[in-house]
Homo-oligomer: A and B are copies of this chain.
Amino acid sequence: MQPYQTIILAVDLTEESNLIAERVRALIGSNPTDLHIVHVIEPLSFAYGGDVPMDLSSVQEQIQDQAKAHLNEFSRQLAVDASHQHLIFGRPENEIHRLAEEHDADLIIVGSHGRHGLALLLGSTANGVLHGAPCDVLAVRVGMA
């Protein structure tokens, strides 16, 4: 896939992410590509609208530890090392755009769920990623409706 040198792959780390990994591998082929993998966690405080009580903090830490392990495992199958793995807290679309701008990416790849709309990442949608994206966006269809 010649025209894309720097790719941001946003994954929700569900089983479907593995299908996306296969697609990405085929897309990139043997082309030299700077591939970044990002998983965005929405802070619980967003859902609760304020400070996170102590017990939720501990839940958050567990989520983070698990996500980090999953992200690492996922990234290994695409031979992406830790320097290109990004575990970020925030609004998925904002963080994905920010990361794309930071790395001057020319393509963002996200999963799409076909007829179910485009639920992806934690609580966000590919629509959000599309709107305001600083570059091209490839929505890879995973799962059937």
A112 with B126: CB separation less than 8 A: no
Contact bitstring A109-136, B, C-beta under 8 A = 1, else 0: 0001011011000000011001111111
Smallest CB gap from A142: residue in B: B136
**DSSP majority for the A interface?**
mixed
CB neighbours (8 Å) of A141 from chain B are: 133-137
Partner among B117, B127, B136 whose Cβ is within 8 Å of the Cβ of A138: B136
B140 with A136: CB separation less than 8 A: yes
A side interface size, CB within 8 A: 27
Q: In the assembly, what is the distance between CA of A135 and CA of B2, in Å? A: 21
**Min CB distance, A1 to chain B, in Å?**
5
- Chain B binder among A22-30, A43-51, A58-66, A79-87: A22-30
Q: In the assembly, what is the distance between CA of A131 and CA of B120, in Å? A: 13
List 8 additional A-B contacts (Cβ < 8 Å) besides A2-B26, A3-B27, A132-B145: A23-B136, A115-B132, A127-B127, A127-B130, A133-B139, A136-B139, A137-B139, A139-B139
